[in-house]
Structures are given as C-alpha cells and as structure tokens.
Amino acid sequence: MAITDSNIGSTGGRTNLKSNVWGGPFVMGLLITLLGVVALSSIVFTSLATAVFYGAMLFVGGIFEVIHAFRVRKSGPFLMFLLGGILSAVVGALVLMNPGAGLLALTLLIGGYFFASGLFRGITSIADRYEGWGWDFAYGLVSVALGVIIFAQMPYSSLWAPGILVGVEILSRGIAMMAGALTVRKVVRELPA
C-alpha cells in the first residue's frame, strides 16, 4: 500500500510516520542497552541464567528434533534425527538439573574457542602476510590471551566469562540498534515533506 496524503491525513500524520519509523527501534535499542548494563552489573547471575537458557534451548530443541524424526521416518534420516534429538534433550536436561556443571562445560568451550580461533588467526596472518595482516595477528594474540586467562582461572572463570560475554553482546546489540535508528532518523528528515 502506497503512503499518500489520504492515508496519512494531515502533515502532522507525516511527522508521526517519520518518528514511528525510527522511534520504536531507538527505544528498543535503549531498553536492550539498559539490559546489557544490568547483565554486566551482575555477571554471576548472567552466567547462571545463560547456562539455564542454554540447557532449556537444548532440551526443547531435542524434543522438536525427536518429533521431527517421527514426521520424516518414511522419507528422511529417521535414526539421525531421533538420536540427535534424544542426545540434545538429555544434555539439556542435565544442564537444567545441574547448571553449575553446565556453566563449567560452557566456559571450557568458550576458552577453547578463543584459544583455537586466536591461534589459527595468528598463524594464518603470519603465513599469508596479506594487507592488514597485523590487525588479524593482534586479534589472534588477544584471543589466545583470553583463552589462556579463562583456562588459568578455571573453575572461577565459569562465574564471570559467560556473563561478561553475554552482557557485552547485549550492550553492543542495543547500541547498534540505537545507532541504526538514528541513521534512519537522519535519512527520514532529509526526505521531502
């Protein structure tokens, strides 16, 4: 449906339309940013909530995968979906029953990812020496250092590492949403009235 004067009504309606385009996403970004600040201010709670959420998603995903296995039993890989779904549901249930152990496992995965990713990026940047390789090498060093810090402080790092990562992700997502909304606002203001 095209937006015309009859759809909008008066010039005031056009102003409302322009503010609705960017206002809602800006407010959502602001709320998400505040949630990120709250998450970073209570990283132990955020870490535990992350483990519980991860366990719940594994459990629910496993149930859906088992259901899907029975839906495709005559035309698809029934056994693969069934066993994968059972495994996901069981691991999710175990994480939900013991979130501390799930949090420890999640932190080990995060530390391993940082270490392996940084090592790979650092070695690749030195071997290829492409333009700007120094930035990738620096990123690799920082990533390896993060992995080493997480492993060196185990099991205590399981209380802070996931919470900080989730909090920073939520905070940066909110800031990005607000920046995008302000960009839309600028573009909308430049449109002819």
pLDDT along the chain (193 residues), means of 10: 46 56 86 93 93 95 94 86 94 94 92 93 89 88 93 92 91 89 82 69
Contact (CB, 8 A) for 164 and 138: no
> What is the model's pLDDT at position 16?
58
- Domain membership of residue 5 (yes or no) is no
Closest CA to 61 of 40, 28, 103, 92: 92
- Domain membership of residue 173 (yes or no) is yes
> What is the model's pLDDT at position 17?
57
As for how many domains the chain has, the answer is 1
> What is the model's pLDDT at position 58?
95
Q: Across 41-180, where does the E strand assignment appear?
A: none
Chain position carrying tokens 């203001």: 189
What is the CB-side half-sphere exposure of residue 59 using CA atoms within 13 A?
13
- Domain membership of residue 12 (yes or no) is no
Range of the domain at 53: 22-186
- Domain membership of residue 166 (yes or no) is yes
- Domain membership of residue 80 (yes or no) is yes
> What is the model's pLDDT at position 193?
63
Secondary structure tally for the chain: helices H, strands E: 7, 0
> What is the model's pLDDT at position 7?
47
- Domain membership of residue 66 (yes or no) is yes
3-state SS, 65-134, equals HHHHHHHCCCCCCHHHHHHHHHHHHHHHHHHHHCHHHHHHHHHHHHHHHHHHHHHHHHHHHHHHCCCCHH
The Cα 38–Cα 13 span in angstroms is: 36
- Domain membership of residue 178 (yes or no) is yes
- Domain membership of residue 26 (yes or no) is yes
